[in-house]
Chain A
Amino acid sequence: MLDTILITVLVMMSISLLVCFIRVVIGPTMPDRVVALDTFGINLIGFIALLMILQRTSAYAEIILVIGILAFVGSIALAKFLERGVVIDRDRNSH
């Protein structure tokens, strides 16, 4: 019973990922894509948590935390690039 529900939910999560992907592709603006990628990452957190329940394991606990950090870092990097054209400033004192 639990497995059936889990798989149903996973299918729904997959559809959610698909929707995010479509947004990544069609845009229309660059921030739309960045936000879609960010959402894609956040969706993964849920997806992997459900997988943990399905596979009866706690091995992926770190992964959830890591995705949280990395999705943040990736989005910030993209955002900064879009805003300033650089990711890492040459000279910190000039701004």
Chain B
Amino acid sequence: MTALHWATLSPFLLAILIPFLYKYVRKIHTGWFVLLLPITLFILFLQYLPTTSSGLVVMETIAWVPSLGINFTVYLDGLSLLFALLITGIGALVVLYSIYYLSNKTESLNNFYVYLLMFMGAMLGVVISDNLIVLYVFWELTSLASSLLISYWFHREKSTYGAQKSMLITVFGGFGMLGGFSLLYVMTNTFSIRGIIEQADVIAQNPLFIPAMLLVLLGAFTKSAQFPFHIWLPDAMEAPTPVSAYLHSATMVKAGIYLVARLTPVFGGVAEWFWIISAVGLFTLLWGSVSAVRQKDLKSILAFSTISQLGLIMCLLGLGSASLYSGFEGTETILFTTATLAAIFHLINHATFKGSLFMTVGIIDHETGTRDIRKLGGLMAIMPITFTISLVGLAAMAGLPPFNGFLSKEMFFTGLVNATQLDIFNMQTWGFIFPIVGWVASVFTFVYCLIMFFKTFFGKFKPENFDVKHVHEAPIGMLISPIILGSLVILIGFFPNLLTHSIIEPAISAILPDQRFYLDIYHWHGINTELLMTLGVIAFGTVIYLTAKKWMQLSIYLRERDPLNYMYDNGLIGLIKGSTKVTQMQMTGLLRDYFAYMLTFFILAIGYTFIRYEAFAIDTVNVAPISPFMWILVLIFIAATLSVPFIHHRISAVIVVGVIGFLIALFFAVFSAPDLVLTQLLVETVMVVLLLLAFYHLPELRKEKFTPRFNGVNLIISIGVGVLVTLTALSSFALSNQNGLQPISDFFLENAYKLAGGKNVVNVILVDFRGIDTLLEVLVLGIAALGVVTLIKLRMTGREDV
């Protein structure tokens, strides 16, 4: 166990202690204890920065299930470190924020921090595991922790609905991903991501390559809320705001991004990967930004905004993967690494400004009691600090200079424009779509940023709209975290190169190994396409916002719920209804039906086997001669058997069954089995007496009177079973003639007296050669007798029964 292993597991260990701290140290807010851990971890991970920025990696293994190749291997390179720093850094800020957001008196903090720590540990595990199975385990833990956090206020119906939805969708994707990982294992015989990347050229030829890719992408897309799996994210906004800020903007939703980035060296460079990721990302970008404009709740706007920005990052990762295409010469690839650079840069930027925005929305909610933009307004003078932070965050999100969002948006446009120059993967024909859609989505992004900004802070202050009596600025503790994030937005905006060489470069070299690139992020590119596009975004966005009164009357604006939710809801209801119907159809509760199923299956299975292997055979060798009297006896036997179903009188049926029993005994006698005859006769008589006893207990009304029901299907089934059993008997007789094996009975005949000292071979077999069978059959009789006694005597009336 190295420091990195302990770092990954430490949140889980602390989570064990949380309930005790909560119970016994009531004076201090539990969050303070939690806060220490992410800060420590953040400092710990910072110490690895020199290692990764000089191009080195840390890899440590401890065995978990070595026989299956599952080891808890930590692997820390630029990409992992970037995510680890995001998780611990924003984690610390979120914990600090939550200390002021959640009250020590009214909230069950022990639950909250246990779930949050569980999530933090799981997320760290996802990003620094090198083993796919370990990654999957942590991946599912993030789903679980996320659902628990969404349903933190579990008495609200919407919370549990959101939790269930996110659970169903992300676990669905997670299972798909597990399938993809398994296929990767089948192809490469290792679960180690390093090992798989080494064999990347081999598996690209494998027919399982595409299925594995699709399944892995299913996991990534569901987790990162890509279209059409994005519907869980807006409903996850029922979680407490710190959770939304942490999980649903900065970390968990980026797990899918991480997975795509991590596996780009494995799958990248092929057309399918390129097109699926960039097209889905692009569409999600557009869909999310258009949906965000329609929302009236601040958190919903931010949720759809997150979806759209995640789509942007995903699209850029897809475009960047083109540089892994093997047909490229050295200089060409640089053109496309820009996209990857933009993706990573925007990932960091998004985490900072979206985190701060969620926190400011939380503050507004906390201080005014509402998040509805139709009720809010005029908060600028009342909450100046929140206003300033929001301004910075929204400007960054809209892509305005001098904030970091401007830089990543410029690079995003660069990436899109570069993509049109690609001459692979049919990009010559379809590449022009990328800049257009990206630009339109950016216009909508600008519009919803304007809406959020002006509707919240400008206009008239209407105190009657708010539940809270005295609306005022948040306490300073609550403001610390958003201030830090807001400062980062500005800091990265002015000095982007602080990050380039230390964090972004190693991260990109993890995504695109064996590529040389030179990075320099700066504000002024000269007047070029990208700058004009940004100016266009600002111009068009402003025009749209100014004409807001008109299009806000449109029905598309008034309907804010995503149409895909209807599909999800109806699909879920349909699934339940359908499965109930299927169950009710077959589980009729009638033994008659189950018996029919069993026999039908028997006929189909045996019949198919007969036809499939041409197993039917008739062999008349070794057939004994039939005496004339046997014909008559068999005739009676058949007649008696056939007549049973047609007898309408119970006693008569019993008598006919008695005749059949007597005849069987007689057959035994003809075929020289005296012991069987004796037993058969005794059992037969006991049966008749028992049946008569049972008749006495039948209900009075139907006494001695019954009508067998006729059913064509039953007739067919019974005839089928009879025919099949007969055919099987004939064929196995033929087989016994053909295989020439010595029957074991010769041994018994020879040795019954010699070894066991008995002349009655049947009895010697029963009690000597095969005594265990007899013992157990005696046991069966004993159990049956006890059962009968219990059934008759035990009435459960409350007093002593037996």
Contact = CB atoms under 8 A, between A and B. Distances in A.
Contacts of B689: 73-74, 77, 87
Interface in A1-58: 7, 10-11, 13-15, 17-18, 21, 24-25, 27, 30, 33-34, 36-37, 40-41, 44, 47-48, 51, 55, 57
B681 A67 contact: yes
A17 B636 contact: yes
B710 interface: no
A60 B629 contact: no
B418 to A, nearest CB: 96
B102 interface: no
A87 B636 contact: no
B636 A10 contact: no
Nearest to B687: A74
A83 interface: no
B202 interface: no
Given A7-B629, A44-B666, A62-B678, A87 B659 contact: no
A20 to B, nearest CB: 8
Contacts of A66: 678, 681-682
A11 B632 contact: yes
Nearest to B631: A14
B629 A24 contact: no
A44 B662 CA distance: 8
B652 A33 contact: yes
Residue among B651, B658, B678 with the most chain A CB within 10 A?
A: B658
B535 interface: no
Contact of A30 (B628, B632, B652, B666): B652
A81 B651 contact: yes
Interface string A71-95: 0011001100110011110000000
Contact of B656 (A10, A25, A78, A88): A25
A78 B650 CA distance: 12
B674 A24 contact: no
B664 to A, nearest CB: 11
Given A18-B635, A60-B669, A7 B682 contact: no
A86 B698 CA distance: 12
B700 to A, nearest CB: 11
B643 interface: yes
Contacts of B596: none
Contacts of B677: 48, 60, 63
B373 interface: no
Interface string B623-634: 000011100110
B627 A24 contact: no
A24 B655 contact: yes
A64 B682 CA distance: 12
Nearest to B677: A63
A78 B670 contact: no
Interface in B648-696: 651-652, 655-656, 658-659, 662-663, 665-666, 669-670, 672, 674, 677-678, 681-682, 684-685, 688-689, 692-693, 695-696
B639 interface: yes
Given A27-B652, A30-B651, A74-B688, A63 B678 contact: yes
B766 to A, nearest CB: 16
Contacts, number: 104
A36 B639 CA distance: 16
A86 B696 contact: yes
A55 to B, nearest CB: 6
A44 B670 CA distance: 12
Contacts of A63: 669, 674, 677-678, 681
Given A41-B662, A44-B665, A70-B685, A78 B692 contact: yes
A93 to B, nearest CB: 20
A55 B674 CA distance: 12
A56 to B, nearest CB: 11
Residue among A57, A62, A70 with the most chain B CB within 10 A?
A: A70
A73 B681 CA distance: 12
Residue among A15, A33, A85 with the most chain B CB within 10 A?
A: A33
A21 B655 contact: no
A70 B677 CA distance: 12
Contacts of A33: 651-652, 655
Nearest to A16: B632
Contacts of B538: none
A53 B681 CA distance: 21
B688 A77 contact: yes
Interface in B675-726: 677-678, 681-682, 684-685, 688-689, 692-693, 695-696
Nearest to B665: A44
Contacts of B735: none
A34 B655 CA distance: 7
Nearest to B632: A14
B187 interface: no
A46 to B, nearest CB: 11
Nearest to A20: B659
B632 A70 contact: no
Contacts of B663: 17
A77 B692 contact: yes
B669 A48 contact: yes
Contacts of B692: 77-78, 81, 87
A33 B643 CA distance: 14
Residue among B639, B640, B674 with the most chain A CB within 10 A?
A: B674
A21 B639 contact: yes
Given A21-B636, A25-B656, A74-B685, A47 B666 contact: yes
Contacts of B696: 81, 85-87
A22 to B, nearest CB: 9
Nearest to B673: A59
Residue among B640, B643, B662, B677 with the most chain A CB within 10 A?
A: B662
Contacts of A18: 632, 635-636
A21 B652 CA distance: 12
Nearest to A25: B643
A84 B274 CA distance: 90
Nearest to B652: A33
A85 B681 CA distance: 24
A51 B636 contact: no
A14 B669 contact: no
Contacts of B662: 40-41, 44
Residue among B651, B652, B659 with the most chain A CB within 10 A?
A: B659
Contacts of A73: 685, 689
A78 B651 contact: yes
Contacts of A59: 672, 674
Interface string B585-609: 0000000000000000000000000
B629 A13 contact: yes
Nearest to A82: B651
A86 B696 CA distance: 6
A33 B665 CA distance: 20
Contacts of B640: 21
Contacts of A85: 696
B627 A7 contact: yes
A71 to B, nearest CB: 8
A48 B655 contact: no
Nearest to A19: B636
Given A18-B636, A44-B662, A48-B669, A70 B629 contact: no
Given A7-B628, A21-B659, A48 B635 contact: no
A77 B685 CA distance: 10
Contacts of B685: 70, 73-74
15 contacts: A10-B628, A11-B629, A11-B632, A14-B629, A25-B639, A37-B655, A51-B670, A59-B674, A62-B674, A63-B677, A74-B658, A77-B689, A81-B651, A81-B695, A87-B693
Given A41-B662, A60-B677, A63-B678, 16 more contacts: A11-B629, A21-B640, A24-B659, A25-B639, A27-B652, A36-B655, A63-B674, A63-B677, A66-B682, A70-B684, A73-B689, A77-B688, A78-B655, A78-B692, A81-B651, A87-B692
| Top-9 shortest CB links A-B | A14-B632, A10-B629, A59-B674, A14-B629, A70-B685, A11-B629, A81-B692, A33-B655, A77-B689
